[in-house]
Chains A and B, each alone.
Chain A
């Protein structure tokens, strides 16, 4: 049984179709990346799978439960990290997770242990009694991941989990996320518009304008758009070009100090290439197409790499101030 099964799922707002008949399956214990630019329909899809939004048509099941007919069952089986923070900043890290455990029906005698385990998992156990408002953005995100797994869900949903985080926090958050399938058997469904993050997913669906335009493993998708490039540095370019053309019928191009040779089959070509040019070779490297190239190839545009700017943080603190001020 797949952890998530979606067929012809559609969400329409009046005349605008946010999600247009998408279908995919996510096998249990894998990481699934839902990839696309902002506004492509990623969050809408996640909201429907989490039963926060009713689909216009189509079907979706999570952990074997129907998202429309059995929303409570679905909710019990999943953990979610939303794009925006949903922690209570006035409560401590421990309290945030403990209340979550109660809400998700964790048995009383297991609550504290599971909360502690989750806090240790993301390395925040030492700060469990501090109010969340003292945490950095990266720590809050880690805490949210911890909270989402407290009740030991079968499936974890992450909506742009690393948005607005610095590279270091991103890396450490990734470490926790990628450990989940192997250590806990959790299936991970995540959306992102960072192509490098999608590389670690087992499977990917690329969505644009509400439609899935490609599906597969990262390697499959990249193979789909064609060739790898082998870059080779040689002592004698003229001679090397001649040999490669005549004997291998490949078409090397001069690129600065190197020759670049488009090949199909990647590194399997390297031994023959070296045999052909013999002692002329100085160094060899291979460059594969990235998911960015895949996206570019499919849509004719580069995916936007946009960072959340600091104005959101400023807005937050103004709100916090006004909230306190207004209450007096």
Chain B
């Protein structure tokens, strides 16, 4: 059973906190900017332009993917903080289903992340892109789907941890490798064996690839997208369903 009122409370609460907590808003915007200009800017001088684009342009979809990755994971693991600080109990004992709480958490992570991705996306003129309205809309739509998938994944992760001591584990062993092995920073089509495998099972790979498909649809060669957009979308959609289901089951069992 899914209660709209429970989803409403979870989303409204997350939103209120997101707006109020200026440091969180700032850091989630500042992190991609630092990566884009401090890392991307440096590599731009090292990596020769190819396939009709420079490194900064290549990096841009990856940075949008990164924004969504961090923001959605942060949002989802607020479940751990809710457990730690007690508020989770208030929700668990209310006459609402746990499924509604999970969906509310996934949706709030999705909305918050998509907004942030939208803010970063607005940098495109400075990188020499000319994007049509359709491409901007498409990027936001893909961003929304990716954000939902990652949020749901974050919830699955969050149900296995009870305290924030686990935070650095999640950051160092899940989030950062996911970012590096997603094709965000470098082409992943010709990586050696094990890395290739990890790339292929990484949900973010398909998100970043979809973003490349939308932002430079004519891109070819190693700098361009590796899969057709339809495959990216299909994989993300399936993963979103799987993670939501797994998250709901895990949350129902473990709280």
Chain A: residues with CB nearer than 8 A to chain B?
50-52, 72, 75-76, 80, 82, 84-91, 95, 99-100, 102-105, 319, 322-324, 326-328
Contact = CB atoms under 8 A, between A and B. Distances in A.
Given A75-B93, A82-B86, A326-B167, A103 B23 contact: no
7 contacts: A76-B95, A84-B89, A86-B87, A88-B13, A103-B5, A103-B96, A327-B74
Of all A-B residue pairs in the complex, the 5 with the closest CB atoms, nearest first, are A86-B86, A75-B95, A103-B94, A86-B90, A76-B95
A95 B95 CA distance: 19
A214 B140 CA distance: 65
A87 B87 CA distance: 6
B23 A324 contact: yes
B238 interface: no
A100 B13 CA distance: 11
A161 to B, nearest CB: 15
Contacts of B51: none
Contact of B9 (A51, A85, A87, A102): A102
A293 B5 CA distance: 50
Q: SS class of chain B's interface: helix, strand, loop or mixed?
A: helix
B164 interface: yes
A82 B12 CA distance: 24
Contacts of B89: 52, 82, 84, 86
B85 A327 contact: no
Interface in B78-95: 81, 84-95
Contact of A90 (B5, B21, B168): B21
Interface string B65-77: 0000000001000
A80 B164 contact: no
B87 A104 contact: no
Given A95-B16, A327-B27, 19 more contacts: A51-B93, A52-B92, A52-B93, A75-B95, A76-B95, A86-B90, A88-B85, A88-B87, A91-B13, A91-B17, A95-B13, A99-B13, A100-B90, A103-B9, A103-B91, A322-B164, A323-B81, A326-B167, A328-B27
Given A89-B85, A103-B96, A327 B24 contact: yes
A84 B83 CA distance: 11
A75 B89 CA distance: 13
A105 B5 contact: yes
B166 to A, nearest CB: 11
Contacts of A95: 13, 16
B27 A91 contact: no
B94 A75 contact: yes
B252 interface: no
A50 B5 CA distance: 21
A105 B96 CA distance: 9
Given A87-B87, A323-B164, A104 B95 contact: yes
